[in-house]
Chain A
Amino acid sequence: MMHEQLADIVAERFVTRPPELQIDLTPGLQREETILETRGLSVWYGGFQALRDISLAVPGRRITAIIGPSGCGKSTLIRCFNRMNDLIPGFRVEGELLFEGRNIYGRGIDPVDVRRRIGMVFQKPNPFPKSVYENVAFGARVNGYVGKLSEIVERALRRAALWDEVKDKLRQNALALSGGQQQRLCIARALAIEPEVILMDEPCSALDPVATLKIEDLMRELAERYAIVIVTHNMQQAARVADYSAVMMMAEDRAGEMIEFGPTRQVFTTPKEKRTEDYITGRFG
């Protein structure tokens, strides 16, 4: 039953999408330009291997979902893309992670520069305890952007579909906003530094269904400009929003592996792997 629901969601979405977004999915991977790519990426935390040999290509201006059961390394993988894992003691990486052709774990690459071009939105909304305005202006301030700060703030808030709701309370503390508004503020904050990729680590898991739908609509709009990578434990969400889906599983030794990657429609309707089918039909995970 689960399977049929997901297939319905996928079918409905791909039929009702505007023609310019109708992608010819089979040759899609070749045609679309890859913006982020991992090649044989393995990750360790101390002696524990968290990811093994992950190879995947994230296309620009598309939404790529990473799904899989809890503990399979989805968050670890997405946090590799902007080197957030560098902050964790004992973190070690092997393999390559190419961003526009350059290995971001290579010699002489400053993680600060990486993060300025690859934005991130977290599981729980984490606005700074400052005003709405200062939250959005933060990235511009630390990155020394030139230009009128108020224009940058307004543009980012408009793109995050939050401007109309907060334009009269820019000086109020961001913590006074609702959870969904806080999360869109965090998206606006990430957009303000004009990144090329936006990573979203379960961005809706702390939100109610209405706020979740708003964020999903927003993601579809943002995908016209940015590459989006989203981690989600919610398969319906992946089916609703993602152009491509990667399915991860935990191996025997608890290291995360990627077992399937492809256009969302194909992953959900005609998976290549038996384990993917078992997972999306709810037989485990």
Chain B
Amino acid sequence: MGVTDIEAVGPASRIRPRGPLEARLRHGREAAIHGVLFLCAFVSIFTTLAIIATLLEETIGFFGEVSIIDFLTDTKWIPGLGGGPGGLEPHFGILPLLSGTLLVAAGAAVVALPVGLLTAIFLSEYAPEWLRGIVKPILEVLAGIPTVVLGFFALTFVSEDIIKVLFPETKIFNAASAAIVVGIMIIPMVSSLSEDAMSAVPRSLREGAYALGATKLEVALRVVVPAALSGIVASFILAISRAIGETMIVTLAAGATPNLTWNPLDSIQTMTAYIVQVSLGETAQGSLGFRTIFAVGMTLFVMTLTLNVISQYLLHRFREVYE
């Protein structure tokens, strides 16, 4: 068979035989595309590694000057950033920043975990299809509000019009208003991930429970929630991890006072807000004051990484049950 056979079929089905040069070009193009795709994937891995390397380098430098024991046990955080004549002896105890962070995260959890879980139960077990179609997009909008907007909401509404009305002695900057708004921010995360976990519980389990005379509430609380528990707990942990890392709301509303306290009405400073403060200030790069933010950042990184690993482990276990 020759070229004429092919031409007889018509111009649309004309096939040109490919020469060795074209084949080589094709291989080259494939290899180039392969390389570009690999580079794209590598960028994120490289960035992560570079961040860890930078953090580690500066953190090691910091601990060359400050003992790690002092860092973990000292109850005062007075980095002496201004280096002014005040003459306060510098202290590098992470505990006040840690307590501030945990206070906000705990407050946020108190708000978000029950509300988020109940929302998830409602959406997964009770809401009719049309209502779910309305509520879920609204929750997603809530998740998409810029945190700086939420920060102003915390400062000008929650703090001013709620906390200060209930507790007039409170300062305008306080942990409670930040915690409440961070909690509101992470509700969609809890509800959406928990709902995914509950929706993955097979219908047959629900039917089994209904067939034994269980009510809707009993099916939800005694069968669906326990069966989805690892996914629900994973959503809690991810949300708390997100609350710990939240920056803008706490910078705007929680204050800038490193303060070892468990009173939510106090003004505090979180680790993230401290990093912002130093980054925006005039602390000289390379100075001990500047290096503190890497030590604090490292602490933050280790905390959230641990929480994320735990939640991944739980999610993984959860998947195994029904596959």
Contacts and interface: CB of A to CB of B under 8 A. Distances in A.
Contact of B215 (A112, A127, A128, A175): A112
A126 B205 contact: yes
Interface stretch (B100-108, B221-229, B256-264, B303-311): B221-229
Contacts of B226: 128-130
A258 to B, nearest CB: 23
A129 B213 contact: no
A82 B210 CA distance: 10
B83 interface: no
A115 interface: yes
A129 B227 contact: yes
Interface in B196-235: 202, 204-215, 218, 222-223, 226-227
A113 B213 contact: yes
A193 B212 contact: yes
- Chief secondary structure at chain B's binding surface: helix
A87 B211 CA distance: 11
Contact of A115 (B202, B205, B212, B222): B212
B189 to A, nearest CB: 25
A189 B205 CA distance: 13
A126 B214 contact: no
Contacts of A126: 202, 204-205, 207-208
Contacts, number: 68
A193 B207 contact: no
B321 interface: yes
Contacts of A112: 213-215
A83 to B, nearest CB: 9
A210 interface: no
A78 to B, nearest CB: 11
Nearest to A117: B213
Nearest to B129: A89
Given A128-B227, A142-B218, A189 B212 contact: yes
A122 B203 CA distance: 12
A128 B209 contact: yes
Interface string A235-272: 00000000000000000000000000000000000000
A205 to B, nearest CB: 13
Contact of A84 (B207, B218, B222): B207
| 8 closest residue pairs by CB, A with B | A116-B213, A139-B212, A120-B211, A126-B204, A126-B208, A115-B213, A142-B214, A142-B218
A67 interface: no
A72 to B, nearest CB: 21
Nearest to A138: B212
Contacts of A87: 206-207, 210
Given A138-B222, A142-B222, A115 B210 contact: yes
Interface centre among A120, A138, A175, by most B CB within 10 Å?
A: A138
